[in-house]
Structure 1
Amino acid sequence: MILGFSIALIVLSVLMAMLVLLHKGKGGGLSDMFGGGMASSVGGSSVAERNLDRITIVLGVLWFACVVVLGLLLKSNG
């Protein structure tokens, strides 16, 4: 069980890093490569940016839950 949560934590961490890099920052992010730059010049955030925000939040909650469960499992076994 600990091995499963450890692997899930590694996968979620890599996905979180990729999603955060896709977000648009002050100077534009990697999301400009996929057409996010055009939508921001029109005004407001595009549907893709909003969906990226939602996916990042859900993945962040899953990552946090995985960290908590893994910590509890390691505490009870150690």
Structure 2
Amino acid sequence: MTGDVLDTIVEAETPEGIMLQLRPAGLASRFCAFSLDLLIRLSLLYAVAIAAVVMGGIGVAIWFILIFALEWL
């Protein structure tokens, strides 16, 4: 019994009819991308939170709009 090598190539055809052969990202690269994304989002939220404290009522409104934009858009 021979072990077959796991094929990790994914083929996709574009609307123009071009076949692309892509290799999905592994666990480590996905973790690094997620960590970087989380760091950027938290840094932005922290900076706006400090500005919201200084600006008062309108700052809270901007804070809520930013939270919505970062989580849903």
Indicate the TM-score class for this superposition, using the shorter chain for normalisation: 0.3 to 0.5
Q: Which has the larger radius of gyration?
A: 2
Query: Of Structure 1 and Structure 2, which has the larger fraction of its residues in strand?
Result: 2
TM-score (norm 2): 0.38
Query: Of Structure 1 and Structure 2, which has the larger fraction of its residues in helix?
Result: 1
